[in-house]
Amino acid sequence: MKPIDMMYQAMLAEVGQRAMDDAWTLDFPPRGRFVKVKVKDRDYWYFDQPDGEGGQRRKYVGPVEDPEIKKRVEDFSTIKTDFRTRRRLVSSLTRDGGLLAADRNSGVIVEALAAAGLFRLRAVLVGTLAFRTYSGLLGVRLPSTAIMTGDADFAQDYAISAGVMDSLPPILELLQSIDPTFRAVPSLAGAETTAFINGEGYRVEFLTANRGKDEYLDKPAEMPALGEASAQPLRFMDFLIREPVRTVLLYGSGVSVLVPDPARFAVHKLIVASRRHATSALKRDKDVMQAGILVEALLQTRRSSDLAMVYIEAWERGPQWQEGIKLGAAMLPNERKDQLRECLETGSKEIGEKAALPF
């Protein structure tokens, strides 16, 4: 597994910091431009931005002589320059640095939801899109064969959703502003919607941790912060999204996102793989592959203690968790099993706690 050159790691950190600081662009994104329009002998500022269909969408800003607006328009040139710089950095990272950019469908969706405040409201990008960000986070090149996806998954803790006293705009409206073919996928349990799909079959789904018994897994949870969307409760999700980390999804000028800790992601994938039915063999194999790749990356980058700590946390949650870890680990190829063993043994020594091996 080849390391990423330190120069590119520094560039990635710079893109991530700038993307996180870029708050004003929520109202006036750098892809647009301010235009002066005369109405009845008086000049007004309007803001034009692409509508996603080859045209422009115009937003009223205010009168030209308003000093507050004048300052914003002047500052916009600086923001625009920074945006272009970040785009060049992202291009260099993906073209020369060996990092993988998000595909357009995924990138534009994550970008729009981030701009609407999804990650500010402590939602977490999960699934393969999150896995895609670990190359930059860990500083190694991950194989692209494990990164293909046709969906975007987001998770939010129910207590956070209920407690923030804030909400996104309606999710369906946000998605349809990107692609009018998006529609809600009806839930089997009722009128609640946890997923949306467009005409090409690209799926956006919202998840949360299961807070009760397994019979509630098929009942969508109402999520006050998710803009009229519900979320599908899943077992083990609370473990995955605990203590998420901030990084950047490489699309456009870089999108600041929250993702699961990579060590948690690896352990979670082993458990999830053990619960896949025979009809989900492809997803099961992908889970095992991603878990194995992350184990190797954590071992190579001397983060064995990270894996050991979350592994022990999962193991101590009881027999069902232990059984899931054992079954998932048994699916790893022999080389990956050896790496998992080495990572756990090394990490155990570093943290001074014994990790029970799953073999």
Question: pLDDT tens digits, residue range 56-101?
Answer: 778 777 788 888 778 777 777 777 777 888 889 999 998 888 888 8
- pLDDT value of position 143: 82
- pLDDT value of position 295: 97
- Looking at the chain, the whole-number percentage of residues with pLDDT higher than 90 is 56
Tokens found for residue 204 = 């956006």
- pLDDT value of position 72: 73
Q: List, for residues 165-186, the tens digit of each pLDDT value.
A: 788 899 999 999 999 999 999 8
Taking 70 as the pLDDT cut, the residues of the chain under it are 21-28, 52, 145-147, 189-190, 211-217, 278-279
CB 152 within 8 A of CB 106: yes
**Burial bucket for residue 94 (CB in 10 Å: 0-12, 13-18, 19+):** middle
pTM, two decimal places: 0.84
Q: Which of 101, 79, 71, 64 is nearest to 31 (CA)?
A: 79
Q: Residue 352, Cβ neighbours under 10 Å: how many? A: 8
Give the torsion sign (CA, 54, 59, 65, 66): negative
For residue 22, the one-letter residue type is D
Q: Residue 30, Cβ neighbours under 10 Å: how many? A: 20
- pLDDT value of position 190: 67
CB 321 within 8 A of CB 310: no
CA atoms within 13 A on the CB side of 111: 22
Give the torsion sign (CA, 319, 320, 322, 326): positive
Tokens found for residue 120 = 């500010």
The vertex-331 CA angle with 325 and 333, nearest 5°, equals 125
